[in-house]
C-alpha cells in the first residue's frame, strides 16, 4: 500500500470532514456549507451525478433485455442482494453485489448496500414519518437499552428544517404519536383505503388509524424547489433508477448539488475510509485516512471536526478500525460497547386479502406512496406480552387483465383489450420495532480482509422471542381488522427473512446520557472524542417503528449546527 | 428485440460482464448465441412456429414479426435455472415426436385450427414419474413457458408499447376513485 501524500498537508486540510454521502452525510455537508464551513465529503464509491449518471431513468420496458428480471447467473452469484425487492435490471448498478464486498454472517443477515455518491438515498422507499416522545421515551419506560438523551422538543425544529427543504407531502392527521410536520399537499388515499380507514374508526374508535404515508416527494409548491433544480414528482414510480425531475429527495438531486453551489464543498468519491486519525497529544481526532478505491494508495485528510455517516454498520466498522494507544478497541470505545446493541426493523410478515365491494371503481394514474398504519400496540401503556409494537404499510389496488387461457386470434384480442377486472386486492406488511441487545453485534473479523486490506465486518444479529410474539400479534390483529372490514380470502405469510433485508439496521454507536453505557452524547459527539460526531443509523438508541431516514436527516442537520456553534466558542 | 443490442445492454448494466458469445453457427446447427442451451436452428424454427400459433399476425403484427422466439430463448438462456433449462429443452426436443404420434403429421403440415387445438391439449398433459410421464411433463413445461414468454415478449415489445398501446413513463396524477363506466376503453382490433 503506497502512501501518496504528495499534496501538502495544508491542501488536504478542511474545517470539516463528512464520511459518507448518503442521506445523513450529505445533510451534514449541506448544513456545513450553508454555514460557510469548508467541507470535505468522502464517499467510498464512484461518483453519481444527478441525471447524468442515471443510465436507465428513461428506458421503456422493452429496452430491458430481460424485462427487468435479474439474470440467473447474477442471482446465483449474489444471493443476498438478489433478495432485495429493488434489485432489478433497472437499478442493479446502484446496489453492492455480494461478490464485490464480502462480509461474514455469523448468523444470516442480508446486508443491502449502495456504494456510490448518494448512497442508498437513490434507492430508499422515501417514507418519512416523524418520531414522537412515545418513541424517545420507550427504552426508559420499558426498561431496555438506555434512555435516549434527547426528546422530541430537541429534534422538532430540525424535523421541520429538513422536511421543508427535502419536500414532504402529507396530511395533518393529528395523531399524537405520529406528529404532523411541514407538509406539501398530501396524496389522497384511494376509495378502498379510505373505506378501510373508516372501518378502523368504526370498530376500534380512535385507537387505530390508516393514513396516507408522508413521503419525500414534491407535490405542489414546485417554485420553492426550483431553486434546488427540482420539479414536481411525476408519479412515475421509477424512483430507484434516479429521478431526472428530482421529484423525490435524494442526496444527488438535492443536498449535494446545493452544497456544491456554495463553493464550500469538496466531494471526494472513490475514497474508502480506513480509519479516523487520533492525536494523543491533542486529545482529539485530527483527520481521516483513506484508501483510494482504484489505485489502492493511502491518503490523509485533516479537519477540526469529523462526521461519520457511512451508513449504520459501516460507521461501526470505521470506528472499530480506528485504533490507537488511547483507543485500542476502536475510537471512543472505552466501555467496550462499540458495535453492540445493533437492532433493525422486523419486516417478516404480510397479510393480504380481497375486497368485493366498491366494484364499480378502479384507479388511474400513479402515486409515490400508499397507506400507513401507525403503531397502536403499547403506545400509552404496556398492554401485551411483548414490548413495543409495529406499524404497517397498507394499500389497495385493482388491476385489469386479459384472459390468457385462449390461443391464436382469441388470445391476441384478449391481450390487446384487457377488460377483466378482478376484485380489489388489499395488502399490508409489518414494520416492527426490535429491542437492541448486547448479543446483537457487529465486529471486525480478525482474519478475513477485503480487496482494500480492510477487515471484513462480522455480523451477528438475530430475532428474539419478542419479535416472534410481535409477528404473531401482527398477523392476528391485521387478520381481525381485515375480517371486520369485510375483506375476503385473507392470507398471511411469515417470510422468516433474515434481519437486514428491511434495510433499517441501526445502532452500535448508540446515544445515551452516561459514557459508561453509551458511545455518543445528546449532541451526537463521541463521549470520549467530542470532535467526532455520528448522526446516521449507528447512533440510534432504539428503533421504534417509523422509517428512520427522516430522523437521521434531522440528527445530521442539528449536529452540524452544534459543531459550528462549538467551534465558535 | 435485437439480440446484439440486448447483449450490449446487459454488458453495460452489469458492468461489462462478459456475456457476448462467439457466433459460430457451423457446428451441427447448434445456436451458439444461447450458450446455456443446446438449441438447433431447426428447433428455433419450431419454437417460432409455435409462438406464431400462440399470437399470429393479422392487421396487427404477431409474435413472429416481433422476434419473440429470440426473446424466449434469451429468457430461458439467461433467466432460467439449469434444471428448468433442461426441462424446457427436453420438452422442445420431445415435441416433434409428440406431434407425429398424436396427429400423424409434422407441426408445419397441420392447419391453424389443428395447431391451436394441439397446443391447448398438449398443455393439459399429465406427467408422472415414468419415462413417458417425464416426457409429458417436459412438454407441458416447455409449452407453458413458451406461452408465457410469448405473451410477455409480445406485449412488452417496442411495437406494441409505441404503436398499439403506447406506454407512458408519466402516468399522470393519481385518481383513487375512478368509475369503471367512465373509463374510455379503446377497442383494438387484433
CA A55 to chain B, closest CA, distance in angstroms equals 9
Report yes or no: A510 and A346 within 8 Å, Cβ to Cβ: no
What's residue A569's pLDDT? Answer: 86
Give A407's contacts in chain B (Cβ within 8 Å): 53-54, 116, 119-120, 147
Asked if A58 has any chain B CB less than 8 Å from its own CB, the reply is: yes
> Looking at chain A, which residue has its C-alpha nearest residue B186?
A417
What's the mean pLDDT in A291-312? 98
Res. B127 pLDDT band, cuts 50 70 90? confident
Give B14's contacts in chain A (Cβ within 8 Å): 71, 74, 92
For chain A, count helices (H), then strands (E): 13, 22
Domain borders along chain A are 200-213+345-433+463-498
Whether pLDDT at B17 is above 60? no
What's residue A221's pLDDT? Answer: 81
Q: Is the Cβ pair A365, B155 closer than 8 Å?
A: no
pLDDT digits (tens, 9 = 90+) for A409-459: 999 999 999 988 999 999 999 999 999 999 999 999 999 999 999 999 999
Report yes or no: A40 and A301 within 8 Å, Cβ to Cβ: yes
CA-wise closest residue to A222 among A167, A288, A259: A167
Nearest to B174 among A58, A235, A408 (CB): A235
Asked if A74 has any chain B CB less than 8 Å from its own CB, the reply is: yes
Q: Is the Cβ pair A234, B170 closer than 8 Å?
A: yes
pLDDT digits (tens, 9 = 90+) for A445-478: 999 999 999 999 999 999 999 999 999 999 999 9
Whether pLDDT at B12 is above 50? no
What's the mean pLDDT in A27-52? 98
Res. A220 pLDDT band, cuts 50 70 90? confident
Asked if A404 has any chain B CB less than 8 Å from its own CB, the reply is: yes
Q: Is the Cβ pair B62, A412 closer than 8 Å?
A: yes
The cell numbers describing B155, all together, are: 406485449
Mode of pairing for the β-strands spanning A13-19 and A298-308: parallel
What's residue B188's pLDDT? Answer: 54
Strand partners, A211: A372
Give A190's contacts in chain B (Cβ within 8 Å): 174, 176-177
Report yes or no: A86 and A240 within 8 Å, Cβ to Cβ: yes
What's residue A12's pLDDT? Answer: 97
More confident residue, B190 or A238: A238
Three-class SS of residue A174? Answer: coil
CA B95 to chain A, closest CA, distance in angstroms equals 18
- H runs (alpha helix) in A206-270: 222-226, 256-261
Q: Is the Cβ pair A415, B55 closer than 8 Å?
A: yes
Give A412's contacts in chain B (Cβ within 8 Å): 55-56, 58, 60, 62, 190
Report yes or no: A372 and A393 within 8 Å, Cβ to Cβ: yes
Whether pLDDT at A162 is above 70? yes
What's residue A247's pLDDT? Answer: 98
Question: What is the DSSP track for A384-415?
Answer: SSSSS-EEEEEEEE--EE---S--THHHHHHH
Arithmetic mean of pLDDT over chain A:
97
How much helix, strand and coil, in percent to the nearest 5, is found in chain B? 60, 5, 40
Cβ-Cβ contacts under 8 Å between A and B: the total is 150
What's the mean pLDDT in A29-34? 98
ipTM for the predicted complex comes to: 0.92
**Percent of chain A residues topping a pLDDT of 70:** 99
Which residue do the cell numbers 491533542 mark? A282
Give B181's contacts in chain A (Cβ within 8 Å): 360
Whether pLDDT at A2 is above 90? no
> Looking at chain B, which residue has its C-alpha nearest residue A75?
B79
**Window from A280-294, A335-349, B175-189 with minimum mean pLDDT:** B175-189
**Percent of chain B residues topping a pLDDT of 90:** 76
- The whole-model pTM stands at 0.93
C-alpha A176/C-alpha A208 separation (Å) is 12
Which residue do the cell numbers 469529523 mark? A306
More confident residue, A8 or A475: A475
Q: Is the Cβ pair A65, B158 closer than 8 Å?
A: no
C-alpha A112/C-alpha A97 separation (Å) is 9
Amino acid at each position: 500500500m503506497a502512501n501518496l501524500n504528495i499534496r501538502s498537508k495544508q491542501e488536504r486540510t478542511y474545517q470539516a470532514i463528512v464520511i459518507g454521502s448518503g442521506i445523513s452525510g450529505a445533510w451534514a455537508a449541506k448544513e456545513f456549507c450553508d454555514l460557510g464551513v469548508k467541507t470535505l465529503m468522502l464517499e467510498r464509491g464512484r461518483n453519481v451525478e444527478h441525471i447524468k449518471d442515471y443510465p436507465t431513468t428513461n428506458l421503456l420496458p422493452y429496452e430491458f433485455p430481460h424485462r427487468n428480471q435479474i439474470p440467473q447467473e447474477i442471482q446465483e452469484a449474489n444471493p443476498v442482494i438478489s433478495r432485495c425487492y429493488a434489485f432489478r435490471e433497472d437499478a442493479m448498478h446502484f446496489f453492492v453485489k455480494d461478490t464485490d464486498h464480502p462480509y461474514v454472517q455469523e448468523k444470516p443477515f442480508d446486508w443491502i448496500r449502495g456504494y456510490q455518491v448518494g448512497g442508498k438515498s437513490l434507492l430508499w422507499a422515501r417514507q418519512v414519518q416523524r418520531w414522537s416522545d412515545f418513541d424517545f421515551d420507550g427504552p426508559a419506560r420499558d426498561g431496555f437499552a438506555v434512555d435516549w438523551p434527547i426528546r422530541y422538543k430537541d429534534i422538532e425544529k430540525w424535523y421541520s428544517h429538513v422536511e421543508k427543504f427535502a419536500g414532504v407531502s402529507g396530511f395533518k392527521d393529528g395523531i399524537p404519536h405520529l406528529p404532523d410536520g411541514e407538509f406539501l399537499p398530501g396524496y389522497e388515499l384511494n376509495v378502498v383505503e379510505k373505506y378501510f380507514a373508516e372501518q378502523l374508526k368504526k370498530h376500534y374508535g380512535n385507537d387505530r388509524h390508516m393514513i396516507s404515508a408522508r413521503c419525500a416527494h414534491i407535490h405542489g409548491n414546485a417554485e420553492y424547489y426550483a431553486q434546488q433544480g427540482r420539479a414536481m414528482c411525476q408519479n412515475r414510480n421509477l424512483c430507484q433508477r434516479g429521478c431526472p425531475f428530482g421529484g423525490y429527495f435524494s442526496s444527488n438531486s438535492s443536498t449535494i448539488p446545493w452544497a456544491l453551489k456554495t463553493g464550500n464543498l469538496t466531494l471526494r468519491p472513490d475514497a474508502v475510509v480506513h480509519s479516523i486519525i487520533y492525536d494523543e497529544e491533542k486529545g482529539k481526532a485530527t483527520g481521516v485516512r483513506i484508501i483510494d478505491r482504484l489505485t489502492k494508495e493511502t491518503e490523509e485528510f485533516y479537519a477540526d471536526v469529523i462526521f461519520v455517516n457511512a451508513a449504520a454498520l459501516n460507521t461501526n466498522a470505521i470506528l472499530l478500525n480506528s485504533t490507537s494507544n488511547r483507543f485500542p478497541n476502536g475510537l471512543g470505545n472505552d466501555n467496550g460497547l462499540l458495535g453492540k446493541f445493533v437492532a433493525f426493523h422486523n419486516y417478516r410478515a404480510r397479510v393480504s386479502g380481497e375486497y368485493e365491494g366498491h366494484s364499480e371503481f378502479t384507479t388511474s394514474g400513479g402515486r409515490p406512496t400508499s397507506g400507513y398504519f401507525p403503531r397502536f400496540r403499547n403506545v400509552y401503556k404496556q398492554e401485551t406480552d411483548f414490548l413495543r409494537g409495529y406499524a404497517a404499510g397498507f394499500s389497495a389496488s385493482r388491476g385489469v387483465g386479459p384472459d390468457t387461457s385462449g390461443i391464436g386470434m382469441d388470445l391476441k384480442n384478449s391481450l390487446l383489450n384487457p377488460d377483466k377486472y378482478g376484485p380489489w386486492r388489499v395488502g399490508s406488511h409489518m414494520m416492527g420495532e426490535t429491542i437492541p441487545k448486547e448479543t446483537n453485534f457487529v465486529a471486525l473479523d480478525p482474519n478475513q480482509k477485503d480487496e482494500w486490506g480492510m477487515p471484513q465486518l462480522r455480523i451477528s444479529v438475530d430475532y428474539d422471542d419478542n419479535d416472534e410474539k410481535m409477528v404473531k400479534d401482527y398477523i392476528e390483529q391485521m387478520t381481525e381488522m381485515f375480517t371486520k372490514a369485510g375483506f375476503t380470502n385473507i392470507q398471511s405469510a411469515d417470510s422468516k427473512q433474515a434481519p437486514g433485508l428491511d434495510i433499517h439496521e441501526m445502532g452500535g454507536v448508540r446515544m445515551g446520557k452516561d459514557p459508561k453505557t453509551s458511545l455518543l452524547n445528546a449532541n451526537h459527539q463521541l463521549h470520549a472524542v467530542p470532535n467526532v460526531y455520528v448522526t446516521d443509523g449507528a447512533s440510534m438508541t432504539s428503533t421504534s417503528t417509523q422509517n428512520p431516514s427522516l430522523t437521521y436527516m434531522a440528527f445530521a442537520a442539528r449536529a452540524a449546527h452544534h459543531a459550528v456553534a462549538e467551534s465558535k466558542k | 428485440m435485437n439480440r446484439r443490442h440486448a447483449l450490449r445492454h446487459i454488458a453495460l448494466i452489469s458492468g461489462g460482464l462478459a456475456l457476448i458469445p462467439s457466433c459460430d453457427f457451423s457446428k451441427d446447427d447448434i445456436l451458439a448465441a444461447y450458450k446455456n442451451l443446446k438449441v438447433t436452428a431447426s428447433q428455433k424454427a419450431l419454437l417460432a412456429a409455435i409462438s406464431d400459433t400462440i399470437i399470429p399476425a393479422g392487421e396487427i403484427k404477431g409474435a413472429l414479426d416481433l422476434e419473440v422466439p429470440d426473446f424466449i430463448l434469451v429468457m430461458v438462456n439467461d433467466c432460467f435455472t439449469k434444471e428448468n433449462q433442461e426441462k424446457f429443452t427436453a420438452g422442445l426436443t420431445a415435441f416433434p415426436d409428440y406431434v407425429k404420434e398424436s396427429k400423424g403429421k409434422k407441426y408445419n403440415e397441420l392447419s391453424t385450427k389443428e395447431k391451436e387445438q394441439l397446443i391447448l391439449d398438449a398443455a393439459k398433459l399429465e406427467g408422472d414419474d415414468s419415462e413417458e410421464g417425464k416426457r409429458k411433463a417436459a412438454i407441458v413445461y416447455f409449452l407453458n413457458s413458451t406461452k408465457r414468454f410469448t405473451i410477455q415478449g409480445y406485449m412488452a415489445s417496442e411495437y406494441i408499447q409505441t404503436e398499439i398501446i403506447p406506454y407512458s413513463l408519466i402516468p399522470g396524477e393519481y385518481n383513487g376513485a375512478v368509475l369503471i363506466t367512465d373509463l374510455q376503453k379503446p377497442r383494438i382490433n387484433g
